[in-house]
Amino acid sequence: MHPIGETRYLSTLPLTYPLRVGAVPAEVSLVSGGLTDLTDRLVAGELAAGPISVAGYLANRDHFALVPNLSVSSWGRAGCGVLFSKGPLGPREGFLVAVPSRTAGTTYLLSSLLGDLFGLAPTFVERTGSLTELLADHDAVLLFEDEAFAAIQAPPAGVEVWDLGDAWWQFTNSPLIYTLWVMRQDLPEETKQTITEALHGAKAALPSLRPALVAEAHAATGLPAHLIEGFLGRFNYDFTPAHAQALALLEQRMLEHGFSR
């Protein structure tokens, strides 16, 4: 069995759920963890393949080969990278933003977009907690993935909700990539092919399994099934030439705003 990483984020769940429930016969086993943990285990050779953040891939790409035609992205609003701001965005001094991680690719992207679109030079502070608590001490709060999706359902009164997927689309007319799928570069070609076929099989099986997946996500999160269905429908799971161009552009913007490979 080839160990493959999986996160339990709603956005990435569709690509591993078919494997987890045995809908796609495959010589793989799933190992759950956060993206940072999975990246460390991929680099260490403990995993054969798995999802990885854009920043994690760019910092370690010599170790990895991209799984062909597979990523998690959106062509516009997705709801998994969202800035919650006290009041309208615009030029101002001392814009303090609470972020889950200062080194996440989404944080570098936010720095780029705020500078280009609003002339803002944000100061990022790593903080976690409830949205209301964080907004009490900061001008804005950046949330990722399931936290962002849950928070946009009932944002605090007077708070501006700014979706990074939508902003990136408006600014570049290209998809925003949230997660890439990689394999260890040093795997035998036969193993790479086995893993690729398993993940492509999972992607192909998704439409028929979507009702069961939505039901499981509803039970796990308590969010209404129709909201989960709508959320999942915003994502694209391909990696086309347009995605490759978007990845190169995103890397350029990240480097211009302090990212170090």
Reported as a single tens digit per residue, the pLDDT across 236-251 is 999 999 999 999 999 9
Model confidence over 195-211: pLDDT tens digits? 999 999 999 999 999 99
- H or E stretch covering 188: none
Q: Which residue is listed with tokens 């990278």?
A: 81
Q: pLDDT value at position 140?
A: 93
- Which range is least confidently modeled, 101-110, 120-129, 195-204, 225-234? 101-110
Q: What is the DSSP string of 25-72?
A: --SEEEEE--HHHHHHHHHTTS-SEEEEEHHHHHHHGGGEEEEEEEEE
| Domain ranges for the chain | 2-75+175-256, 81-172
Cα 58 to the center of its chain, rounded Å: 14
Q: pLDDT value at position 261?
A: 65
Average pLDDT over residues 179-199: 96
For domain 81-172, give the fold.
D-Maltodextrin-Binding Protein; domain 2 (3.40.190)
Average pLDDT over residues 210-230: 92
Which phi and psi angles does 90 have, rounded to 5°?
180, 170
Average pLDDT over residues 134-163: 91
Query: Does residue 103 surpass a pLDDT of 80?
Result: no
Distance between CA atoms of residues 8 and 196, nearest Å:
20
Q: Which residue is listed with tokens 């998704």?
A: 206
Model confidence over 19-68: pLDDT tens digits? 999 998 888 999 999 888 999 999 999 999 999 999 899 999 999 999 99
Q: Which CATH number fits domain 2-75+175-256: 3.40.50.2300, 3.40.190.10, 3.20.20.300, 3.50.50.60?
A: 3.40.190.10
The pLDDT confidence band at residue 87, using thresholds 50, 70 and 90, is confident
